[in-house]
Structures are given as C-alpha cells and as structure tokens.
Amino acid sequence: MIVLVRVDNRLLHGQILEAWVPRLRIEKVVVADDVAAGNPLALAAMTLCVPPELPIEVRPVKDVEWAKLAKDTTRALVLVRDVSDLARARAAGLTSKLAPNVNVGNVHFAPGRQPVTASVFLADPEIEALRLLAGAGFAVEARAIPAETPTGLAEIERRYAAAR
C-alpha cells in the first residue's frame, strides 16, 4: 500500500530515514525519479546509508506500477523530486484511490518561487498542480517532518498569495 507520496527535491536522505520511515512504519521506499534512476552515482549516494532491511526501488516516474504498488500489503513511501513529477505520476496511473495523501516536504527556492513554509517554495505552476491534485481527491499538505503540524492547501495558497 502507498502510505504517502512525498515531494522532496533531496529524495532519499536522513530526514526520511530517521523521521518519516519510523513514524509511518514504512517497509519499502520507492524513489520515482528519472534522473536518479539513470545515474549510478546518484543511486549509490542515495542508498549508501539505508539500512539493509529497508528495500529501496528507484525507477523513472513512468515506470512505477502504481496499482501494483498500492495493492501490495507492504507499507510504501513514494518520493518524487518536484511537484511537476506528481502530474507525470498521475498521467502514468497514480490516483487518489491508490495514494490519497500527498506531502510537499522540501522544494528549494528558485527565481519566481515564493515561500509557503520554511522548506517549501512554490511558483504559479506548482500551486496550480497542487490545486488539480486536490480537485482529483488527493489530500495535499506541506510539512518537513511528521512532528510538524501539516499545512493544508488553503493555507499554502494563502501564504503564497501573501508572499507575492
């Protein structure tokens, strides 16, 4: 089952392994990222500190078998690099019935992006993509770690508008 889909441009790192995996009782991590899937150095760096009992799969977004992953009884966390990857995942078969929860955890600052949390900076196309996800039934939130209070889409939009 897909417990959570998380947007984090760092992909797999200590915060995931030390906070999210234990809190959500994750049994497998799937990294859906075209760049990492095709880069042996990135794969090695990302999986270097992963405990051996935690299976990691790294695949291009289009190659993730969303329905199969959702039907599996193994508790899975899916990581994508950018909000735009969520739209590509939807096009490849991801639905809110398969994975109802989307967490935006870390999106670096870039020109045109506005802060919505301390670790999430978004631009117009990303806000629109999150609106479309919510309209398709996904529960969208922003937070870096599980102990934080989630910031829902309405508050994300309010903060984004206030920062412009």
Which domains are present in the chain?
2-163 (3.40.35.10)
d(Cα 16, Cα 96) in Å, to the nearest integer?
22
- pLDDT (tens digit, 9 = 90+) per residue, 59-95? 999 999 999 999 999 999 999 999 999 999 999 999 9
Q: What does the pLDDT read at residue 46?
A: 86
Q: What does the pLDDT read at residue 43?
A: 87
Instruction: Give the pTM.
Output: 0.96
- pLDDT (tens digit, 9 = 90+) per residue, 2-24? 999 999 999 999 999 999 999 99
Nearest to 46 by CA among 97, 90, 54: 54
d(Cα 120, Cα 32) in Å, to the nearest integer?
19
User: Mean pLDDT of all residues in the chain?
Assistant: 96
β 2-8/76-80 pair status: parallel
The DSSP letter of residue 61 is: G
Q: What does the pLDDT read at residue 29?
A: 98
Count of CA atoms in the C-beta half-sphere (13 A) of 71: 4
Tokens of 94: 């991801």
Query: Would you say residue 58 has pLDDT above 90?
Result: yes
Q: What does the pLDDT read at residue 45?
A: 87
- Partner residues linked to 107 by β-bridges: 120
Q: What does the pLDDT read at residue 47?
A: 85
Max Cα distance, the chain (Å)? 45
Mean pLDDT computed over 148-156: 97
